Amino acid sequence: MCGIVGYLGQKKASDVILSGLHKLEYRGYDSCGITFYSEKKDTFITHKDQGRVRHLEDDFDYNHDNHLAIGHTRWATHGEPTQLNSHPHRSADGRFIIVHNGVIENYHEIKVKYLDNVTFTSETDTEVIVNLIEHFSKSLQISEAIRKTLSILEGSYALLILDTEHTNRLYAAKNKSPLLLGVAENGMTMASDVMALVGHADHYIPLEDKTYTEITATNDGFVYDMVDVIGKPIQTKMIKMDLVTEEIGKAGYAHYMLKEICEQPSVVRKIMNRYSKNGVFHIDENIIQALSSASNIHIIAAGTSMHAGLIAKHYFEVLAEIPTQVHIASEFAYNMPLLGEAPFFILISQSGETADLRACLVNLKEAHHPMLTVTNVGTSTLAREADYSLEIFAGPEIAVASTKAYVGQVTVLLILTFLLSDKKMFDLNAELSKAAVSMEAIIDNRDYVRQLVKDRIIKTSCFYIGRGIDYYTCMEAALKLKEISYIQTEGFAAGELKHGTIALIEKDIPVVAIITQEHISKNTRSNLQEVITRGAKTITISMKHVSNMKDDIVLMDTHELLTPLVSVIPTQLIAYYSALNLGRDIDKPRNLAKSVTVE
């Protein structure tokens, strides 16, 4: 949550920051701001306000040469999204300027202990950090003052700091919130996400927790120095940039979400390629060994990733025959259940930065439990800190509502469980290929779904019903519809409806049924009949082998275990077109952010 970007180099810094903020806006978009050093005026200029980056650009004064700047796009935690609470923040005496992603837990104690006589202008915890640096700078060198501040801060932070007395330097620090240093001969860029480094860096370094970085423009070029809180140099790992500009554009689609929905068949094919050699699937033998010796598996995740975990639970139990439980990360972190004799943990996270999951990871690490992270970001915190990690290779997912990452997670976990299974019940290569073709068929037919949505989905509420893995898909379908259209939606176990919730069904309430599993298709159809009798407007999504003449969306067959990969596609399209009809901000729905780095 919140995106930060900073630049010191030969390019015009404000251009790098504004384009970086656009790319980071998915992380939060309540308000944004930028501070740059104007060489002409020999002063630091700040623009910040409520609202989006494009709004900031409207009033931006571009007539300044500048090569040093920091910027921020905010998802409000402490203080409402107002101009005053927007970042950057300046210390009371004006010397230091800061942007911050994260939450400082002991900000109140710090205020009382060190900053009694400071007048604060915002309600943010960030203003405490910048004033604490100022406080220590009165008696210490700047690097010592920042490191002293870090030793006191509790919580999460990625910080970029400007010192108005040193216009050739950019300072940074990090703990728990992501921060990368992009390295190029003509300048250094720092950002929360690799996307903001595209076009400005050849390599990048993911910063370690509790570290301090100083970038300096010298006569010989741009240099960086990375140390821990006590000033000891640390080892860094330089990674080659492999993202290109095309991968982060909309490629002609009206929204990132539609682009990402359409990319899903190729995500499945890419994963097949990445995890196989000469047609034979392969996953790190250490992971297979560790899972094989587990008595039971605990999957931990949040939101859409948790729904992918539910499908994976089915795979672990059917294919690998290992008892598996799925936990909501924010619950597991503070209410750990009984774990079993030799438990193994799988953390699923698109971003690899979700704070609720990190809280679980810290607890599990302390207890020396083995852990695997399944993520779309191989360099993310959760990937680095778990014992093992598997990447889903879905490519950057920019729409806040997750689509292709979900399909990527399910696909990778299917391959993993398939490799753990003794039986090899089917040809995975052939079935995944069939699933990709079936996904393509419904994507190509999306205008039909658009029409269906126009006829049947109303504004106020909606139900998805299904049984078994279809029920899990219903939960994901409901989340997608509510988060981008704001229509209240429930994903319900079809058979459970009659135990109370059916009281909500009345004339014209939309109910979407998902039917893909032969052994329970008749039961779901009976439940569908029960709502039709009570006046519901229904949409039926089925796979061909269990379809009826009157079904609205009939999907091409694949093996029953793979149907969630296909049946989720029409539900994503239903969500997309419902939101489009209602004029919603599809890629940036209200109150949300892509990477949830607060608990």
Q: Which residues bind ligand F6R (CB under 6 A)?
A: 302-305, 349-351, 354, 357, 401-402, 479, 483, 596
Pairing of strands 276-277, 280-281: antiparallel
> Which DSSP string do the residues of 244-278 spell out, in sequence order?
-GGGGS-TT-SSHHHHHHHTHHHHHHHHHHHTEET
- Bridge partners of residue 68, in order along the sequence: 8
113 is catalytic: no
Closest CB 590 distance from ligand F6R, rounded Å: 14
Catalytic residue among 259, 313, 404, 594: 594
462 is catalytic: no
Task: Pull the structure tokens for residue 598.
Answer: 């607060």
346 vs 326: CA distance, rounded Å: 9
Q: Which is nearer to ligand F6R, 73 or 351 (CB)?
A: 351
Q: Which is nearer to ligand F6R, 305 or 325 (CB)?
A: 305
Closest CB 376 distance from ligand F6R, rounded Å: 8
416 vs 293: CA distance, rounded Å: 14
| CA 203 to centroid of chain Cα atoms | 22
Q: Which residues neighbour 71 within 8 Å (Cβ) at sequence distance 6 or greater?
A: 4, 5, 6, 17, 18, 20, 21, 32, 33, 34, 35, 88, 99
Q: Which is nearer to ligand F6R, 373 or 538 (CB)?
A: 373
Mapped to the 3 state alphabet, what secondary structure does 137-184 carry? Answer: HCCCCHHHHHHHHHHHCCECEEEEEEECCCCCEEEEEEECCCCEEEEE
516 vs 599: CA distance, rounded Å: 36
Q: Which is nearer to ligand F6R, 179 or 596 (CB)?
A: 596
Catalytic residue among 2, 32, 360, 474: 2
Q: Which residues neighbour 510 within 8 Å (Cβ) at sequence distance 6 or greater?
A: 456, 457, 458, 461, 462, 463, 536, 537, 538, 539
Residue of closest CB approach to ligand F6R: 303
| CA 445 to centroid of chain Cα atoms | 28
Closest CB 402 distance from ligand F6R, rounded Å: 3
Closest CB 523 distance from ligand F6R, rounded Å: 29
Q: Which is nearer to ligand F6R, 389 or 402 (CB)?
A: 402
Closest CB 391 distance from ligand F6R, rounded Å: 13
Pairing of strands 296-301, 280-281: unpaired
Q: Which is nearer to ligand F6R, 24 or 479 (CB)?
A: 479
Catalytic amino acids? 2, 594
